[in-house]
């Protein structure tokens, strides 16, 4: 089935674009080079999607380059699974990195050599303080720190100790390498921060070659410089780390000095973006995995049926700034919904069925019609919409005692079947328990493709022929949390706010044309929402499994009121 790709909207101007344009106009840079530097310790989430769209999008718009570089300096939490998933996510979102995938571990030897350079300059020293002692010596926001008793070791002694650290002579955590800056600095990050620690951990790329590993702040700036990045973009929590970024590069003979620029991180209502807490959801079995369609991970959003274009449009709409970026889930859902409106073929399905028997159905007299897959895209083609004596309609489309303004089926009332006849409900058949077993209706055979004479039928409902319909498994996903800020309550566990109805699995019926759909094919089930053939469990021709991506309109706020 064809999925139409709408033309992308124009980029939104923001302060980082203004900086880039000024740097290019002044000749400071002939071209721009950005990078996306994830740590391979989990799956990427919607906040990372914002960063991906920013870094790769700027490179595209200004004919520059964007590197993908893994920050693999914390070997205990990193894995190839995460690294592979991250690469898949970047490509799925529509971007390609410059050259090969890069890793911080590519620079381990260079980072070590630069550390020796700092030692020989008298700007780094080996410290024997324990982590607890180091915190005590660091001071507070209002009180300066105190120098380590090991701060005045000579360069020769420090070099010897550092080389012995590398050689594995000392226990884990017994010594660190710190840079000598200013223990009285009002910025705590500048109070002789650690740049190397001893950690015997198997690394996913270097194995057991190293038992000392560099810290992120030290690694990141040098990696940027070695790759000649022009604009190093990161979220606001790193603003206080920028002086350290610049200080390290100012001390070393690196080939470039990138400019670090900070922007606000994304906070999305009704979800969480802490990797630690997302991992908790997975390990505790709250969700089925990192790719559970309720998760805010890119893998989860993909499996739910979100489109790359919809996520990119979301990133465009929320913009880039230094101010707080708290966004309601409806903005994301709206961007995805609008993208699917243009690209998804439309079919009929029933997910809460009740049987309707058409008592005056006559073979040869009661006929079918064809219908297009999209009213605005005739190129999507058409399919036959068959009818039979028994059909399925939604239970929600029938009411014995209808509320005011009801325009669907009632006892004695009429409604039009989408693409077919007007029918009238003549009888309601119930079981011993009072539940409706079936509705018996008659067809007005003179209404196929035209209005009835002398009366107006307002309601139109969707349906499927029981004799022709395909049985499908439907997963009705909703927001994972009931509270807009589940992680914003200091005295309560975020798990207290889980939505017990975030997933309902039901058996439904759909037009047979969806049965051969490949995984990740998206449809609008008319009047119900947008649905996607499950990426892993949907089996064309054998086991149709569809995930609800998003409803046709945002009803969450009204339902929660």
Cite the active site residues. Answer: 39, 265, 275
Residue with tokens 């994301």: 332
How far, in Å, CA of 195 to CA of 553, rounded? 51
Residue with tokens 């003549």: 426
How far, in Å, CA of 195 to CA of 192, rounded? 9
How far, in Å, CA of 535 to CA of 537, rounded? 6
Centroid of chain to Cα 552: 20
How far, in Å, CA of 86 to CA of 39, rounded? 9
Helix, strand, or coil here: 430?
A: strand
Q: 429 is written with which tokens?
A: 């058949």
Helix, strand, or coil here: 529?
A: strand
How far, in Å, CA of 41 to CA of 72, rounded? 9
Contact 306, 327 (CB under 8 A): no
Please report the sign of the dihedral spanned by the C-alpha atoms of residue 117, residue 122, residue 127, residue 132: negative
Q: Is 305 exposed, middle or buried (0-12, 13-18, 19+ CB in 10 A)?
A: buried
Q: Residues for the chain: how many in total?
A: 561
Residue with tokens 């319909």: 469
- The H or E element spanning position 135 is helix 131-138
How far, in Å, CA of 201 to CA of 549, rounded? 41
Residue 75's alpha-carbon distances to 161, 205, 211, in angstroms, are 23, 9, 11
């Amino acid at each position: 089935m064809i999925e139409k790709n709408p033309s992308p909207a124009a980029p939104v101007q923001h302060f980082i674009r203004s900086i880039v344009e000024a740097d290019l106009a002044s000749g400071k840079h002939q071209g721009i080079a950005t990078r996306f530097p994830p740590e391979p310790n989990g799956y990427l989430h919607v906040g990372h999607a914002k960063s991906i769209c920013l870094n790769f999008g700027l490179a595209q718009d200004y004919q520059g380059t964007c590197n993908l570089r893994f920050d693999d300096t914390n070997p205990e939490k990193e894995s190839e699974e995460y690294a592979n998933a991250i690469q898949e996510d970047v490509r799925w979102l529509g971007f390609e990195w410059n050259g090969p995938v890069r890793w911080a571990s590519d620079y381990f030897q260079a980072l070590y050599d630069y550390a020796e350079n700092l030692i020989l300059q008298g700007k780094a020293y080996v410290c024997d303080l324990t982590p607890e002692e180091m915190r005590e010596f660091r001071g507070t926001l209002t009180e300066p720190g105190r120098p380590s008793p090991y701060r005045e070791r000579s360069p020769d002694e420090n070099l010897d100790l550092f080389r012995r650290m590398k050689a594995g002579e000392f226990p884990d955590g017994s010594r660190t390498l710190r840079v000598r800056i200013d223990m009285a600095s009002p910025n705590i990050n500048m109070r002789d921060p650690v740049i190397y620690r001893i950690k015997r951990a198997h690394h996913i790329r270097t194995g057991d070659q190293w038992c000392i590993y560099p810290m992120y702040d030290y690694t990141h700036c040098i990696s940027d410089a070695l790759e000649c990045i022009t604009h190093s973009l990161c979220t606001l929590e790193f603003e206080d780390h920028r002086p350290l970024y610049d200080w390290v590069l100012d001390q070393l003979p690196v080939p470039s000095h990138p400019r670090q620029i900070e922007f606000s991180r994304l906070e999305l209502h009704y979800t969480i973006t802490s990797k630690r807490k997302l991992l908790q959801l997975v390990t505790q079995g709250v969700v089925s995995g990192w790719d559970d369609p309720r998760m805010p991970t890119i893998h989860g959003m993909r499996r739910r049926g979100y489109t790359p274009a919809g996520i990119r449009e979301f990133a465009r709409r929320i913009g880039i700034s230094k101010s707080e970026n708290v966004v309601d889930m409806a903005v994301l859902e709206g961007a995805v919904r609008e993208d699917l409106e243009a690209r998804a073929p439309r079919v009929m399905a029933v997910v809460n069925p009740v049987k309707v028997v058409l008592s005056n159905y006559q073979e040869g007299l009661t006929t079918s019609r064809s219908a297009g897959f999209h009213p605005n895209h005739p190129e999507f083609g058409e399919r036959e919409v068959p009818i039979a004596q028994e059909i399925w309609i939604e239970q929600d489309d029938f009411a014995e005692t209808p509320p005011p303004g009801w325009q669907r089926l009632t006892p004695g009332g009429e409604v039009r079947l989408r693409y077919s006849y007007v029918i009238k409900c003549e009888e309601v058949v119930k079981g011993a328990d009072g539940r409706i077993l079936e509705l018996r209706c008659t067809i007005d055979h003179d209404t196929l493709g035209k209005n009835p004479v002398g009366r107006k039928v307002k309601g139109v409902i969707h349906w499927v022929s029981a004799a022709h319909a395909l049985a499908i498994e439907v997963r009705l996903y909703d927001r994972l949390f009931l509270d807009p800020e589940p992680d914003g309550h200091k005295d309560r566990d975020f798990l207290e706010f889980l939505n017990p109805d975030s997933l309902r699995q039901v058996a439904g019926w759909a037009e047979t044309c969806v049965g051969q759909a490949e995984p990740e094919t998206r449809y609008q089930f008319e009047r119900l929402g947008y649905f996607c053939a499950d990426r892993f469990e949907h089996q064309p021709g054998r086991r149709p499994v569809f995930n609800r991506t998003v409803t046709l309109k945002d009803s969450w706020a009204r339902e929660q009121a």
